[in-house]
Structure 1
């Protein structure tokens, strides 16, 4: 088995909402894709059988990134056909800007047909309790696995301890190829996303299992109520100002939507600090401010 872990720094956005608990989950996709479970007409799976990165988002019910029975977005099409996530992350960024998502998830890939993909420390709040994940069945014309808006909260509003889902192949409806290595043949117009179980080359067996396990729950009382950190203007263009009403900050970090740190400031920080952001591209960012008592405040930023 292959176990790969990935820490999502951007999930710190979950700590922004006061008055809510935050929950951290570990996600494990166990692939059972094999010649035995999904016999292929040629007698063998492709020698290059693998999975693209397991990607997704946590979000609310005002947005859905795919739905079986509806046509695929460009982002979903690119994942299913190419294992390319750029357009999908752009769709997530739009949802973040509209207040309907709090993070994108950029998990690892798996270089074999069978094995594990493990994503550690996906953290979210009660405002964004839904989880969507997708990965390409590769190689293929437009086949994928996905879970659509699975709620991490139960009917009583409590965080679920464990969720286990059988996963079956899906046809994105964007390519008419009938075999793993079929030449590109665009479906025009697109067909709806459909369950592909029992349709060659797949059997009616599941292709894997998605297990979502609760790791930790935190309240918001770990942040000193007397400490207020504000950022303005937001949205911004070339400069932002960070202001705190009490304890001095010792570290200011800015991360992009994929979790990469793009700025780290540890010197010349006062109770009102201006930062030149002219070198940042337009988009959504996370500011993480740490004060001298090690309280951490996070803010979502939007650069125009």
Structure 2
């Protein structure tokens, strides 16, 4: 039985993308890691690729996640999002999610926090470095699609130690998700809380609202971006 990040279903205060710790992230302590990876996040989210209601101030909040074992998950489609995931998806804030990750570390289910910057409107990529151990060989990382009601993208439980060796390099086409906490239908929709909360789903809207269906472009199947994970030590 997976130990999901604890769910406390209370109404979260809403604010613009930002808040606690969505900047450049913290410097990782790699001293007790078995391997070190660089994560490069490149976005394809442009007016040319996703024209429908494309926001003028498109950006992504600071990357946040963890390395962990199979007992833990950051999020999963078809299940309720934790308060930390909801806070990240609605506002870009990291504080609640960091506290949940710390709880998993105290249980022994996570080795390290993955914490980095986001992508501002003027840029198209961002990099960070993280350490990982054989006892906690999975990595999960998320970021808010901003502006948006409660939409995010990222990876869940990607294994980097496979068949007795570390993966050298891996490129992942990202899926976009709806956290299930807000019923807005466009990037700039006013706050409209979903009560009760719905489960996490792949982002799908009417064609008049956005170009997304099942987490990718409805026509071209293009993803909102890619994560490239490269072993550097």
Report the count of equivalent residues. Answer: 201
User: Structure 1 residues 140 and 5 mapped into 2: Cα distance closer, same or farther (>3 Å)?
Assistant: closer
Shift of 1:11: 3.8
Partner of 1:31: 43
Match in the other structure for 1:166:
173
Does residue 1:51 correspond to 2:60, yes or no?
yes
Contact in 2 for aligned 1:58/1:130 (Cα 8 Å): yes
Q: 1:9 aligns with which of 16, 28, 31?
A: 28
Distance in 2 between residues matched to 1:74 and 1:11, nearest whole Å: 28
- Superposition RMSD in Å: 1.9
Unaligned runs of 5+ in 2: 1-22
Secondary structure of the residue that 1:34 maps to in structure 2? Answer: coil
Larger radius of gyration: 1
1 or 2, which has the higher strand percentage?
1
**Which residues in structure 2 correspond to 1:130-209 (within 5 Å)?**
130-154=138-162, 156-196=163-203, 200-201=209-210, 202=212, 203-204=217-218, 205-209=222-226
Shift of 1:10: 3.2
TM-score by length of 1: 0.63
Q: Tell whether 2:88 aligns with 1:76.
A: no
**Structure 1 residues without counterparts, runs of 5 or longer:** 15-21, 217-304
Deviation at 1:39, TM superposition (A): 1.8
Query: Any idea what the Cα deviations from partners look like across 1:79-126, whole Å, max 9, x if unmatched?
Result: 000001111001100001000001112101111276001013x11110
Q: Aligned partners of 1:177, 1:198: CA distance in 2, in Å?
A: 10
